[in-house]
Structure 1
Amino acid sequence: MGFTVTVYCGSLRTVPQSYLDLAAEVGKEIAARGWSLAWGGGRTSMMGEVARAAREGGARTTGVIPRALADREIADFDADELLVVDTMRERKAVMEAHADAFLTLPGGIGTCEELFEVWTSRSLAMHGKPVVLLDVDGHYAGLIRWLDELGERGFVAPAARAALVVASDVSSALDACAV
């Protein structure tokens, strides 16, 4: 299947157009690099845009969606492979198993929870896959400041903080995924 990037991003339909455009740019660039996409399996909002653009560019797409969200997020049946699982925990495990790298785009609490889980696992040496946060417009600036403060207070080890790569543009973020 080649190199696969698991992308975490917003799924709500109320996000600004700039975030939809960003997701589409990421999908297009994943395809341009000849990579595959694994994502949350939804066809709306940022989730839908990243998958649609990746497929239009020729990338293979694998969506993973819990049964309970299949209707809410409107499952993307155009995926090359759509895996319907029972729980969010199972979803995250399957997405992690498909990944060679993790890329987090702007999102909300679910996106942050996914980021924190794979970053924590990386910092505990449970995997060695790149964990990249794409922050093009300061969406995560407050979170990054807080994480740095946690490090200053001794709650985040320097090696753990270094394991989270923060990028400010799509090209740099994808380059960091390939490391």
Structure 2
Amino acid sequence: MFYEPARGHGLPHDPFKAIVAPRPIGWISTHDGQGRVNLAPYSFFNGVCADPPCVMFSSEGRKDSVSFAALTGEFVCNFASVALKDAMNASAAPLPRGESEFEAAGLEMAPCRIVGAPRVAAAPATLECKVLNVTELIGLDGMRLDRFVVTGQVVGVHIDEEFLVDGLFDTGSAGALARCGYRNYAAVFETFEMNRPGQ
């Protein structure tokens, strides 16, 4: 089949999110500088470049994660693992501002070293980030889309040494969680190596 998104697809559910998959989950923690914290998963998340290390997450609407990151200039990305899948899902609940997703999900907070936002203590890895920019997307018709992309530079990295094997972070043993569209997720328990041509 072929369809133009602006004209609809005729399917029971939009296939776009299932096609762009699997996607790592950006489990983003932020604060407002006055003691209120927020924790929320974003399935439109990824690394942007490695040197310097940068990541991005995208939000449909200017939610607390975007507002707090723009306000304080920082955010934290916590590694979402299979072991933490239920807590990750619980943190997606639409709580009123000021209510703690950490508490609602039964998660312990841990302090970061460089940024003021807390991190998920049980996460296999965490990236402390400083905001580079917050951009609202503009559609082809020139209209604002109320979709925001937050880009950050990683300024600190926490790794649970349990998941370091021969000096490498073992994504498989950490049980990386990914979003596959609809209500579907994937778990990484096994990886394999391939060399690029010429290497």
- When the two structures are superposed, what TM-score results if normalisation uses the length of structure 1? 0.26
The structure having more radius of gyration, on CA atoms, is 2
Greater relative contact order structure (CA < 8 Å, 6+ sep): 2
Q: Structure 1 or 2: larger strand share?
A: 2
